[in-house]
């Protein structure tokens, strides 16, 4: 079989044909009633369907600051493998889902405009795009199935086309006359609990109402005959591209836009055919409100809309009705969601003429991320070895850019002994002995507007992109290249006019650079002292001396064979690396011996890797001992002998193998750390003199 035939076979598979048949099912009204009786979810409202769609992907609960937070897997974007995944906003997304849940239970939010409010680039548009994408995919699943209807066999009786789909994709249950609905609902909801009750709210649209009325006249009130002859039920697939159940509206120039874009407009070509512009057959019910019925409508920058459009929103939200030109109010059922930024929302608050709109709006804050680990994930998604295969991104590059972004969003802590960088670490889950989870909760409470201002992720993404394109690192982009790009971009930043703010943010860049210096110093130290056997040997020596000290014994010198006093200088040189004061040394040594004893009782042997503090102290001590033998500072002068070069190559290979460096950035970081140590040595010698 040729490749072309194989591809055709894949496309035209029996599974595909079966799925197509299921998604394009048609049937009678009585068949639809049977399906509703078996599964009430078919007749759900828009809010119920949205909540069920989000819940269908599952949840994960976790505790943060002694409060249970629900993570909804849907917001990881399982539909497109994380393309629109939302990071670090679980609390705010949980609030949004709770609004959908309350609306699904008809507690009130279904009569409100949901307004996502936050700074530019805080993922408001992404959240709405994800909701639209999710509800579209859900309608194609068996559990998300919904149905509408078409009129057929019309040309024999009415002067119009033979087939007319309902222009706003209504639920077929709307065809049941008002006077008979109470009894029908009683039968439909028999033996159902309140949570699964079916509701029939609203009347059919003007176009369907005209056909319904004329056919009922023809059949002299025989509703059953009319429905059996002229109604065809069909599976409805929500689609933004096909404008079925998903609408999007955005502000345009006032001269080129009017409210008919929301509610539909007259079809002037058909006026001559039907004789009146108030005949529903001469009207296009294709406004965004019309086509979004049964699904969701998004208002982009909703508060930038002209006042005339906002009036339409009032009845659409509270009464679930819209007013097409020259027709009675028409019932709709859809989630109305908009998004706006801070200046526009403040304008709404200050406009006393907009009180009615404010009263019908539920504001849901979507701030910037204030947790470093989540901010890093945004940039890792866009800039990784798959998306950027030709340029290596040095370790900590994205981390440092993310760190600066988060620092600009945090409010200065009111506690005198806490820096902004320490606050960032606390928010990131790195608690210290001085600050507990309760302190972090307190910090969150006192900074109510935190995350509503600062640098947007878009700015960071743009500057990382610039760094990659300019490729100043000749195949490798390091943190300094990106941080310098971030700093130079502040001069022309279109959203920052405050010079004082620019100055503060530049100072924060200096903080990040100092933090990077500490990080890479420690990383190089660990690479130099990464000889496990040397650490093990040093640890054994230390433990022998500690044991002798605690038991008031002497230590045998392995070279001379003589018994000597415990080496106090060795023990203190290790303990000082982790800030054990002189008056606490004996307590620390007893803790170590008790720890070893407890392991022995359990039949386990002591390993320095299991004690994090001691491991760190041993690494730092070994680094200090080896620093001079490696002569790392000689890299600055570029004069390196063969023996030193061999040792440096070992360290460089460890950086590449264990820490993700490439040849270029490993050389860069060794040179940078060498210059830092050289600078430190100069400062020490000048202080000594």
> Over 80: is that where the pLDDT of 66 sits?
no
Helix H or strand E encompassing 112: none
Confidence of residue 93 (pLDDT cuts 50, 70, 90): very high
Q: Contact 225/219 with Cβ under 8 angstroms?
A: yes
3-class state of residue 12 by DSSP: coil
Which runs of consecutive H residues, i.e. helices, occur in 529-637?
532-550, 568-575, 585-601, 612-630, 634-637
Strands 246-249 and 146-151: unpaired
> Over 80: is that where the pLDDT of 561 sits?
no
CB half-sphere exposure, 140, CA atoms < 13 A: 10
Q: What is the mean pLDDT of residues 101-120?
A: 93
Strands 296-299 and 335-340: parallel
Q: What is the mean pLDDT of residues 588-613?
A: 82
- In this predicted model, what pLDDT tens digit does every residue of 664-677 receive, in sequence order? 999 888 888 888 77
Of the candidates 491, 485, 515, 522, which has an alpha carbon nearest to the alpha carbon of residue 372?
515
The pLDDT score that the predictor gives to residue 684 is 45
Q: What is the mean pLDDT of residues 219-231?
A: 95
What is the DSSP code string of 275-301?
Answer: S-TTSGGGEE--SHHHHTTTSEEEETT
Q: What value, to the nearest 5°, has the Cα angle with vertex 296 and ends 294 and 297?
A: 125
Q: Is 110 exposed, middle or buried (0-12, 13-18, 19+ CB in 10 A)?
A: buried
Q: Is 616 exposed, middle or buried (0-12, 13-18, 19+ CB in 10 A)?
A: middle
> Would residue 206 be called left, alpha or beta, if left means φ above 0 and alpha means ψ between -120 and 50 degrees?
alpha
Confidence of residue 345 (pLDDT cuts 50, 70, 90): confident
Confidence of residue 513 (pLDDT cuts 50, 70, 90): very high
Which of 79-93, 264-278, 487-501 bottoms out in mean pLDDT, i.e. has the lowest?
487-501
> Over 50: is that where the pLDDT of 611 sits?
yes
What is the DSSP code string of 46-88?
Answer: HHHHHHHHHHTT-EEEEEETTEEEEEEGGGG-TTTTTTT---S
- In this predicted model, what pLDDT tens digit does every residue of 289-309 receive, in sequence order? 999 999 999 999 888 777 777
Output the CA torsion sign for 672, 579, 509, 382.
positive
Which of 399-403, 581-585, 639-643, 667-671 bottoms out in mean pLDDT, i.e. has the lowest?
639-643
Residue 629 or 312, more confident: 312
Q: What is the mean pLDDT of residues 463-479?
A: 87
For the entire predicted model, the pTM comes to: 0.84
Rounded distance, CA 44 to CA 104, Å? 9
DSSP 8-state assignment for residue 108: S
Confidence of residue 686 (pLDDT cuts 50, 70, 90): very low
Contacts of 137 (CB under 8 A, 6+ apart): 79, 144
> Over 80: is that where the pLDDT of 73 sits?
yes
- In this predicted model, what pLDDT tens digit does every residue of 440-463 receive, in sequence order? 888 888 888 899 999 999 999 999
Of the candidates 514, 474, 511, which has an alpha carbon nearest to the alpha carbon of residue 662?
474
Confidence of residue 536 (pLDDT cuts 50, 70, 90): confident
Q: Which residue in this structure is represented by tokens 């700015």?
A: 459
Q: Which two tokens stand for residue 16?
A: 């595909």
Rounded distance, CA 93 to CA 537, Å? 52
Rounded distance, CA 487 to CA 52, Å? 46
- In this predicted model, what pLDDT tens digit does every residue of 376-434 receive, in sequence order? 999 999 999 888 888 999 999 999 999 999 999 999 888 778 889 989 988 888 766 56
Q: Which residue in this structure is represented by tokens 């639809």?
A: 32
Length of the chain in residues, anyone? 689
The pLDDT score that the predictor gives to residue 494 is 66
Q: Which domains does the chain have, with CATH numbers?
A: 23-367 (3.40.50.300), 370-410+451-519+631-689 (no CATH), 529-630 (no CATH)
- Mean pLDDT over each residue of the chain, to the nearest integer: 87
Residue 97 or 346, more confident: 97
As a dihedral over the C-alpha atoms of residue 148, residue 152, residue 157, residue 158, rounded to 10 degrees, the angle is 60
Contacts of 246 (CB under 8 A, 6+ apart): 132, 135, 136, 238, 239, 240, 291, 292, 295, 296, 297
Q: Which residue in this structure is represented by tokens 């086309």?
A: 161
Q: Is 150 exposed, middle or buried (0-12, 13-18, 19+ CB in 10 A)?
A: middle
The pLDDT score that the predictor gives to residue 440 is 81
């Amino acid at each position: 079989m040729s490749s072309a035939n194989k591809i055709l076979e894949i496309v035209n598979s029996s599974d595909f044909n079966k799925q197509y048949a299921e998604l394009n099912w048609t049937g009678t009204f009585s068949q639809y009633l049977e399906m509703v009786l078996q599964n009430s979810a078919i007749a759900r409202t828009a809010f119920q369907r949205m909540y069920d769609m989000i819940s269908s992907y599952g949840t994960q609960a976790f505790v943060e600051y002694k409060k249970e937070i629900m993570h909804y897997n849907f917001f990881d974007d399982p539909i497109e493998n994380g393309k629109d995944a939302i990071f670090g906003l679980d609390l705010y997304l949980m609030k949004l889902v709770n609004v959908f849940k309350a609306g699904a239970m008809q507690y009130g939010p279904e009569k409100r405009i949901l307004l996502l409010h936050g700074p530019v680039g805080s993922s408001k548009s992404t959240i709405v795009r994800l909701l639209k994408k999710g509800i579209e995919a859900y309608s194609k699943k068996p559990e998300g199935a919904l149905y509408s209807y078409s009129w057929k066999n019309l040309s024999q009786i009415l002067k119009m086309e033979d087939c007319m789909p309902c222009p706003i994709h209504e639920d077929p249950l709307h065809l049941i006359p008002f006077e008979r609905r109470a009894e029908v609902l009683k039968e439909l909801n028999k033996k159902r609990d309140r949570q699964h009750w079916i509701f029939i709210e609203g009347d059919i649209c003007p176009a369907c109402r005209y056909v319904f009325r004329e056919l009922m006249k023809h059949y002299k009130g025989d509703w059953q005959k009319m429905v059996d002859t002229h109604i065809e039920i069909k599976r409805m697939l929500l689609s933004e591209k096909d404008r079925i159940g998903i609408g999007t509206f955005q502000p345009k120039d006032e001269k080129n836009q009017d409210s008919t874009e929301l509610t539909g407009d007259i079809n002037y070509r058909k006026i001559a055919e039907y004789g009146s512009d108030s005949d529903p057959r001469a009207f296009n019910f294709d406004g965004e409100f019309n086509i979004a019925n049964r699904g969701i409508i998004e208002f982009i920058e909703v508060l930038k809309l002209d006042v005339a459009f906002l009036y339409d929103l009032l009845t659409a939200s509270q009464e679930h009705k819209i007013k097409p030109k020259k027709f009675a109010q028409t019932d709709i059922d859809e989630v109305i969601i908009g998004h706006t930024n801070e200046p526009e929302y403040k304008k709404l608050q200050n406009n006393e003429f907009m009180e009615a709109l404010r009263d019908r709006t539920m504001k849901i804050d979507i701030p910037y991320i204030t947790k470093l680990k989540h901010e890093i994930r945004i940039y890792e998604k866009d800039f990784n070895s798959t998306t950027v295969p030709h340029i290596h991104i040095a370790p900590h590059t994205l981390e440092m850019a993310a760190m600066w972004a988060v620092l600009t969003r945090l409010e200065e802590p009111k506690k005198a002994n806490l820096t902004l960088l320490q606050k960032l670490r606390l928010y990131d889950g790195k608690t210290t002995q001085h600050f507990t989870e309760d302190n972090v909760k307190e910090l969150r409470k006192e900074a109510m507007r935190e995350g509503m201002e600062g640098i947007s992720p878009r700015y960071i993404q743009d500057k990382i992109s610039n760094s990659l394109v300019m490729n100043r690192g000749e195949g490798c982009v390091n943190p300094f290249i990106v941080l310098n790009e971030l700093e130079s971009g502040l001069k022309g930043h279109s959203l920052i006019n405050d010079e004082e703010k620019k100055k503060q943010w530049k100072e924060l860049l200096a903080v990040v650079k100092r933090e990077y210096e500490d990080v890479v110093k420690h990383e190089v130290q660990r690479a130099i002292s990464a000889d496990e056997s040397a650490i093990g040997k040093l640890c054994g020596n230390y433990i022998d001396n500690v044991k002798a000290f605690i038991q008031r014994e002497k230590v045998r010198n392995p070279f001379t064979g003589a018994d000597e006093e415990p080496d106090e200088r060795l023990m203190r040189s290790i303990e000082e690396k982790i800030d054990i004061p002189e008056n606490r040394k004996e307590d620390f040594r007893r803790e170590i011996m008790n720890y070893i004893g407890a392991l022995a009782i359990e039949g386990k042997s002591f390993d320095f890797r299991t004690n994090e503090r001691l491991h760190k102290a041993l690494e730092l001590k070994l680094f200090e001992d080896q620093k001079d033998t490696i002569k790392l500072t000689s890299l600055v002068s570029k004069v390196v002998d063969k023996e030193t070069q061999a040792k440096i190559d070992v360290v460089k290979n460890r950086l590449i193998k264990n820490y993700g460096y490439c040849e270029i950035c490993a050389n860069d970081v060794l040179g940078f750390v060498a210059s830092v140590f050289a600078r430190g040595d100069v400062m020490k010698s000048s202080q000594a003199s």
